[in-house]
Amino acid sequence: MPRPELKALKALIAEHAPPRARKVLGHLPGLSLHAGEGIEVLGLARHGWMTGFLRQHPALRTAWIQGEENRLCPTALEQQGVGLSRLLFFERMSGSEAIELALQLLRSSLFGAIIFDGLALPSIGREAHMRKLQLSAEDGGALLFFLSKYEQASFGIRIRIRAEGADAVEFIRVKGGTLA
């Protein structure tokens, strides 16, 4: 148990410390997205939703990391109005390879978003991996997107979106805030 002097000192620091501002990197209806946030996009229309988000944020440099099963054609994104000059694709990655790659990309601070597409993160140490990714994304000034067909229980996911069709998009979880 902390000593009373230490407790009082921590309270004094917390009272007078300026709030830590996090860079706003994008917006969803009624919600600002800050560096380090995890967003999970589920459902059959997850790629369409992600394409729309990238189209709405044309300055966002993005690394798209695809799992071994997924095959998203970059030219399809270009046909839908997303400039490929700001995208970097990595294909056929395992979950552990994707984590190591993402950490390197986040340390570079060159990307505003890292997209994990169809990747199963290792179940052993999942929370530790997610926390490390979240902290690295916050330090690197980036958003983390996780695209999958089905919901995966994960630490660090603040926003969960289900996209089943162009008009069937719902926010199924917003942790630490509400939508306006």
pLDDT tens series, the chain, 180 aa: 556 676 776 666 666 554 444 556 666 666 778 888 888 888 888 888 899 899 988 999 999 998 877 677 888 888 999 999 999 999 877 888 888 999 999 999 999 999 998 876 666 667 788 888 888 998 888 999 988 877 766 666 778 888 887 677 777 766 654 444
Q: CA 117 to CA 67: how far, in whole Å?
A: 6
What does the pLDDT read at residue 30? 63
What does the pLDDT read at residue 54? 92
The residues, ordered by sequence, that sit 6+ positions from 106 with a Cβ below 8 Å of its Cβ are 114, 133, 136, 137, 139, 140, 142
Show the CA angle centred on residue 49, arms to residues 66 and 125, nearest 5°.
Answer: 45
What does the pLDDT read at residue 25? 60
What does the pLDDT read at residue 21? 46
Q: Dmax over Cα atoms in the chain, in whole Å?
A: 63
Tokens of 104: 């390197």
Domains of the chain (ranges plus CATH)?
Answer: 35-151 (3.40.50.300)
Question: Which tens digit of pLDDT belongs to each residue from 70-94?
Answer: 677 888 888 999 999 999 999 877 8
Q: CA 151 to CA 162: how far, in whole Å?
A: 9
What does the pLDDT read at residue 115? 93
Q: CA 91 to CA 108: how far, in whole Å?
A: 20
Q: CA 66 to CA 56: how far, in whole Å?
A: 22
